[in-house]
Chain A
Amino acid sequence: MFLELFFQYLVAGLTYGTIYAIVGIGFNIIYNTTGIINFAQGEFVMLGGMTAVSLYAFLPLPLAILGAVIITMAVGGLIEMVFIRWLVKPSVLRMIIITIGISILVREAGLVLWGEGVRSLPYFTGNEISALSFGGVRVSPQVLWSLGVCAIVVVLLNLFFKFTMLGREMRACAANRDAATLCGIPTRNMITLSFVLSAGIGALAGCVVSPITQTQYAIGSGLAIKGFTVAILGGLGNSMAAVAAGFILGILESFSIWVMPTAYKDAISISLLLAMLFLRPSGLFGNREAFKLKDF
């Protein structure tokens, strides 16, 4: 019984871990090309989930998800072009405040569009009571979906950033924008691209976890804090590490319910965030040497 309970908490932790991981990756992508933390990242997850629910009313599920991802990518690109592109050498602080503003704007727009109702997509396979049993531990198939999607996203992203010229250009733009310009790289387009990419990933996450966690207009800001914690915990800019960090946070939260009142769950991520920022700002898996070479 004890072991079963243990694994049940573990699975719950992994489930939340995937979404934290994907939000963390979204932070990393935009951080990697622009050097800014986009606090509207959680809103992309919300937009993805909500749009998919709306589209699902008249489209089959896979098309609804695809549509939601594309629409959110367009919104991400548009946000960059309207609010960020025209800024000439903005300071980091100014960018952060702008993204917080965008996040409030998107959230309120979500409230107007969809109201306060809590919605969710149907389970991709089976329904809320179907479960696969692994030696007494019951796992919803949706958990496997979210784990799988997270894994695919991470692998593809890593291949993209490490081995494609476009990925390398985006990293160059992150490392030193003037120098990237002097190499002939159109840095402004790279920044737009990073918003599009990160919006798409967020939206996909929003769709995959929607059946489990449900979607509402206000879920974004909470996810942004979790995702930020994860990004810091893993080491800013490192997508692979964000995944590991996402699972660590998810599992910690899940097990905290075992020993503490549920209300303290969210305090875990905040304390973890503060502890990391004080003790090891380069992250658990961050390369200290490389961290020192970054500007921010």
Chain B
Amino acid sequence: MLRVHNLSAGYGSLHVLRRLSLHVKPGEIVTIIGANGAGKSTLLRTITGLLRASSGEVLFKGEDIQRIPPEQVVFRGCSLVPEGRQVFAAMPVRENLLLGAYVQHKRGKRDEVAHDLDRVFGLFPVLRQREHQLAGTLSGGEQQMLAIGRALMARPTLIMLDEPSMGLAPLIVKDIFHIIAKIRDEGCTVLLVEQNARSALKIANRGYVLETGRIILEGDAGDLLANREIQRAYLGKDLDGENK
């Protein structure tokens, strides 16, 4: 579904990604774990085209999406839930979701939008209660749900999530990861970028470990969870906390 090959990218003279390669197969949850500054967000921004790669290619369903503008990437079925939610704060929840359905409008599938709205409200019942509230007044967890819901409104075949657990209480993180697994079960492929390695690896099929712009390790999620090196560096086995 997604194949990233020898991708390098950065900001000006700062090289963040160095010849990075990975792939995501249909129906999988693939997670990319790594510390702050490893290049996780840069990777996702480059895949969606918000940031231009300096070299390498990103193939989505066999097409190089580096060559098309970022808004077209969404039309191909690849949606990003950006870091820090980025909801339209001064608009009500409902309008946020309808804007997510922009792609569906343009595809001429306007009549399916109401159904998709119901589906998102089904996944996140709290959003239905907050339907007419300004998005900026929601709690962090609710905003994260809204951001995921907005991305789902475009009916993506691949949804990429950038640190959905950031700044959220453990209980809410658990909820959100539960729903991410559910989204995969409903047939949407997931690429999940996380600092919260344990939660991510628990729901993922496979994982990559990103360090200073390079993939240093990859494998089945279970193997990575059991890997002593990863336990020490990312899972904080010698500490007690759930978070690293």
Contacts and interface: CB of A to CB of B under 8 A. Distances in A.
State whether these chains interact: yes
Contact of A175 (B74, B79, B89): B89
- Count chain B CB atoms within 10 A of each CB in A169, A179, A293 and give the residue with the most: A179
B235 interface: no
- Count chain B CB atoms within 10 A of each CB in A185, A186, A292, A293 and give the residue with the most: A293
A261 interface: no
Interface of B: 48, 50, 69-72, 74-75, 79-80, 82, 86-91, 95, 98-100, 102-103, 105-106, 134, 136-137, 150-151, 154
Given A182-B79, A184-B102, A175 B70 contact: no
Interface of A: 165, 168-169, 171-172, 175-176, 178-187, 289-290, 292-294
A227 to B, nearest CB: 22
A175 B96 CA distance: 11
Contact of B70 (A168, A182, A289): A182
B242 to A, nearest CB: 30
7 contacts: A165-B102, A168-B98, A169-B99, A180-B99, A185-B102, A293-B89, A293-B90
Contacts of A178: 50, 82, 86
B86 A176 contact: yes
B71 A181 contact: yes
Contacts of B82: 178-179, 182
Q: Is the interface of A mostly helix, strand, loop or mixed?
A: helix
B145 to A, nearest CB: 15
Contacts, number: 75
A154 to B, nearest CB: 20
Given A183-B100, A184-B102, A186-B71, A293 B86 contact: no
Contacts of B136: 290, 292-293
B50 A175 contact: no
- Count chain A CB atoms within 10 A of each CB in B69, B79, B91 and give the residue with the most: B91
A117 to B, nearest CB: 45
Contact of B102 (A171, A183, A289): A183
**8 closest residue pairs by CB, A with B:** A184-B74, A293-B89, A293-B136, A184-B103, A179-B86, A175-B88, A290-B90, A172-B99
Given A293-B89, A293-B136, A181 B70 contact: yes
Contacts of A187: 71
B12 to A, nearest CB: 12
A187 B150 CA distance: 17
Given A172-B91, A176-B86, A183-B100, 6 more contacts: A175-B88, A175-B90, A176-B88, A182-B50, A182-B82, A290-B90
Contacts of B89: 175-176, 293-294
B199 to A, nearest CB: 24
Given A172-B91, A172-B99, A182 B74 contact: yes
Nearest to A162: B95
Contacts of A165: 98, 102, 105
A69 to B, nearest CB: 29
Given A175-B91, A178-B50, A183 B74 contact: yes
Contact of B71 (A176, A184, A294): A184
Given A178-B86, A182-B80, A185-B102, A289 B91 contact: no
B157 to A, nearest CB: 14
Contacts of A294: 89-90
A171 B98 CA distance: 13
- Count chain B CB atoms within 10 A of each CB in A168, A183, A186, A294 and give the residue with the most: A183
Given A290-B90, A294-B90, A184 B106 contact: yes
B77 to A, nearest CB: 11
Contacts of A175: 88-91
B99 A289 contact: no
A181 to B, nearest CB: 5
Contacts of A184: 71-72, 74-75, 102-103, 106, 154
B134 A183 contact: no
A271 to B, nearest CB: 29
A232 to B, nearest CB: 17
B95 to A, nearest CB: 6
A182 B151 contact: yes
B95 A168 contact: yes
